[in-house]
């Protein structure tokens, strides 16, 4: 399945990139969510895939015998997912407020830059 996952990761990254290049704010948020998914899946896939062997140590045993899934990437992704959610929530609220203050969700209308003599 790793080939398919590689494909999915590519599609998610591509979709995310396309979306954050839109002018509409909401689409940009959606793009960020795509990128978040893509990154998580990326770490997950390059940590290698194992089917049907979660890293649970059964009662009575001291350790696990191969094959079993690597627990470390899972722990890292868990942290990343949660942080990603925090960032997402912040993004949604920030965008909403920007929309209310600026009065547009067209990013191309937000372009203050150098004012030269």
- Give every CB contact of residue 91 below 8 A, 6+ residues apart in sequence: 29, 32
Assess contact for 85 and 37: CB atoms under 8 A: no
CB of 109 to another protein, least distance (A): 9
Assess contact for 31 and 16: CB atoms under 8 A: yes
Q: For residues 40-99, which are near another protein according to CB under 8 A?
A: 40-59, 61-64, 68-99
Assess contact for 23 and 108: CB atoms under 8 A: yes
Strand partners, 106: 24
Task: Give just the sign of the alpha carbon dihedral 49, 53, 54, 57.
Answer: negative
Q: For residues 18-37, which are near another protein according to CB under 8 A?
A: 18-28, 30, 32-35, 37
């Amino acid at each position: 399945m790793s080939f398919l996952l590689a494909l999915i990761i590519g599609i998610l990254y591509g979709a995310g990139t396309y979306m954050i290049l839109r002018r509409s704010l909401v689409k940009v948020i959606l793009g960020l969510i795509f990128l978040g998914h893509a990154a998580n899946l990326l770490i997950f896939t390059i940590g290698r895939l194992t089917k049907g062997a979660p890293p649970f140590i059964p009662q009575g045993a001291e350790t696990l015998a191969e094959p079993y899934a690597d627990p470390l990437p899972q722990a890292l992704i868990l942290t990343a997912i949660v942080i990603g959610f925090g960032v997402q929530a912040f993004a949604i609220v920030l965008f909403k407020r920007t929309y209310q203050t600026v009065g547009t969700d067209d990013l191309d209308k937000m372009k203050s830059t150098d004012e030269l003599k």
